[in-house]
C-alpha cells in the first residue's frame, strides 16, 4: 500500500488490517480473470437493490448510470494501485453520499453484499487456488478499506456542514457518557 504518511489513522488501518504491496500484486495478477465478470455482478447487485423498498427511491430512473459507475469502481479494486488517487476516489464517494443523502447503511449493506458475492466468483474463476485464496483475502481487506474511507469522509463532511471541527468531533466522541450532576 502507498499510505500517506500524513494520515496516521490510515496507517493504523493498513498496519492492523495487514494491507501491503502483496495485495496490490495479487489483485493486479488476478484482474484478467475477474474483470470480464464484474458487469454481471453489478447487474445482480442492482437487482437486489431494486427489491429493497428503502433503497429503490435512491436508484430509480438512474440505474444504468449507477451501474456504469459501480463497474468502474469494482474494476478499480483490481487495478493494483491503491495510492492517493484511489483513496481520493473513495473519499469522493463519501462526499457525494452526504450531498445526495445516501446514508451509511447503504454503504455497509453494499459492502456486505460484495463480501458475500465476490469470494465465490474469485474461487471459481482464478485458475490457481493459492492465488484465489490470496486474492480473496486482499479483496476483503480492500472492501474494508473502501468502507472506512467512504464512511470517514461522510462523517467529516457531515460534521463540517454542522460546523463541528474534526478535533471537536473527537472530543465529543471521547468524553464520558456519565451524567453531569446539575440538571438544568
Residues that bind another protein (CB under 8 A): 161-165, 167-168, 171-172, 175-176, 178, 180-184
Residue 146 · residue 153 · CB < 8 Å: no
Minimum distance of another protein from residue 98's CB (angstroms): 14
Is the CB of 26 or the CB of 98 nearer to another protein? 98
Is the CB of 129 or the CB of 175 nearer to another protein? 175
Minimum distance of another protein from residue 159's CB (angstroms): 9
Residue 134 C-alpha cell reads as 490470496
Minimum distance of another protein from residue 162's CB (angstroms): 6
Q: What CA–CA distance (Å, rounded) separates 132 from 136?
A: 6
Residue 42 C-alpha cell reads as 453489478
Q: What is the dihedral of CA 52, 90, 93, 95, to 10 degrees?
A: 130
Is the CB of 127 or the CB of 178 nearer to another protein? 178
Give exposure, 22-46, as e/b (b: 16+ Cβ within 10 Å).
Answer: ebbebbebbbebbeeebeebbeebb
Minimum distance of another protein from residue 110's CB (angstroms): 30
Minimum distance of another protein from residue 183's CB (angstroms): 6
3-state secondary structure of 164: coil
Is the CB of 103 or the CB of 166 nearer to another protein? 166
Q: What CA–CA distance (Å, rounded) separates 107 from 95?
A: 13
Is the CB of 16 or the CB of 184 nearer to another protein? 184
Q: What is the dihedral of CA 134, 145, 14, 169, to 10 degrees?
A: -160
Residue 119 C-alpha cell reads as 469470494
Minimum distance of another protein from residue 160's CB (angstroms): 10
Is the CB of 130 or the CB of 179 nearer to another protein? 179
Amino acid at each position: 500500500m502507498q499510505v500517506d504518511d500524513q494520515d496516521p489513522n490510515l496507517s493504523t488501518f493498513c498496519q492492523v488490517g495487514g494491507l501491503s504491496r502483496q495485495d496490490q500484486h495479487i489483485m493486479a495478477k488476478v484482474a484478467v480473470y475477474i474483470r470480464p465478470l464484474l458487469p454481471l455482478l453489478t447487474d445482480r447487485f442492482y437487482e437486489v437493490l431494486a427489491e429493497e423498498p428503502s433503497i429503490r427511491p435512491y436508484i430509480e430512473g438512474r440505474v444504468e448510470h449507477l451501474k456504469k459507475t459501480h463497474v468502474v469502481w469494482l474494476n478499480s479494486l483490481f487495478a493494483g494501485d491503491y495510492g492517493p488517487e484511489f483513496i481520493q476516489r473513495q473519499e469522493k464517494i463519501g462526499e457525494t453520499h452526504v450531498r445526495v443523502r445516501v446514508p451509511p447503511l447503504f454503504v455497509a449493506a453494499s459492502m456486505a453484499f460484495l463480501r458475500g458475492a465476490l469470494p465465490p466468483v474469485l474461487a471459481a474463476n482464478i485458475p490457481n487456488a493459492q492465488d484465489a485464496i490470496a486474492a480473496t483475502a486482499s479483496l476483503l481487506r480492500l472492501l474494508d478499506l473502501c468502507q472506512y474511507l467512504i464512511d470517514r469522509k461522510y462523517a467529516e463532511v457531515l460534521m463540517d456542514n454542522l460546523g463541528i471541527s474534526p478535533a471537536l468531533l473527537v472530543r465529543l466522541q471521547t468524553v464520558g457518557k456519565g451524567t453531569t450532576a446539575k440538571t438544568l
